[in-house]
Amino acid sequence: MSTLEIKDLVVTVEDRIILDGVNLVIRSGETHAIMGPNGTGKSTLAQIIMGHPKYTLESGEILLDGEKIHELPVDERSKKGLFLAMQSPVEVPGVTNFDFVKAAVQAHQGEEKKLRVGKFILAFEDAAKELKMGSGLSHRYVNTGFSGGEKKRNEILQMKLLQPKFAILDEIDSGLDVDALRIVGENVTNFKSKDRGFLLITHYQRLLDYIVPDFVHIMIRGKIVKTGRLELIKKIDTEGYDWLKAELGLDTLSDEPKRYSLGTCATNVGK
């Protein structure tokens, strides 16, 4: 069993605190969903787990199977088993989808193990078919000229071929029509296993109708303030977040992000 652990995470952008003491543990076989209002830090959590340089980890730790990984570069985190499906996938002109994913899979296997190209071709074609991406996908440049739905499905194709220990899906439902959402949801659900964990970041219940989470976390103002199960999703969907803010006494607090100073936190990174 693998474990991804987030401990007392404080993250800033230009000295503004975006995550303010986040704690979360995800184990193999578990699917966790994080919901919350806009601008509350959900996507920041996804990005800092993967090591985006825009964000500064002021204190806390990120551990994968007990190993501290928060100082590793993005590619090393990926090789150790993390995957991020991005909210806004980037275009890579001049690089075909086949070559892009093939290079990534080979990097994960290491130089000592040669990629079996024939087997990879079949796996690529099967994944493209399951995601209804079309037979010409392998020759198209990465996300270039793709619709929003195609870009999101392409992220899921990469995930399926890379076989990560933990997949972080950042608002993969945004911009999808009903058919594309169903295709993405079914493929993620079919990819679940006892050896793989998921972190879903979303605004809407509609994604969670297709990918059923084991745990639901609500994030407000950079903190996970409540954890529950499916009944929590239903209450959020019908009543929004105001009831929770009132219950926790958050409705009286300012929405202005706090500034980070040396005295803000008692812990330092890695300690």
pLDDT one-digit tens code per residue, 83-133: 999 989 999 999 999 999 999 999 998 877 888 999 999 999 999 999 999
- Tokens representing 49 are 């787990």
- Tokens representing 59 are 């204190």
d(CA 271, CA 268): 6
Secondary structure (3-state) at 200: strand
DSSP classification of residue 235: H
Specify which residues 5 forms β-bridges with: 25, 63
Contacts of residue 48, Cβ cutoff 8 Å, sequence gap at least 6: 9, 11, 19, 55, 57, 62
Secondary structure (3-state) at 156: helix
Contact 202, 35 (CB under 8 A): yes
Range 3-248 has CATH code 3.40.50.300: yes
d(CA 91, CA 112): 30
Predicted confidence (pLDDT) per residue in 133-191, tens digit: 988 999 999 999 999 999 999 999 999 999 999 999 999 998 889 999 999 999 999 99
Predicted confidence (pLDDT) per residue in 32-55, tens digit: 999 998 889 999 999 999 999 999
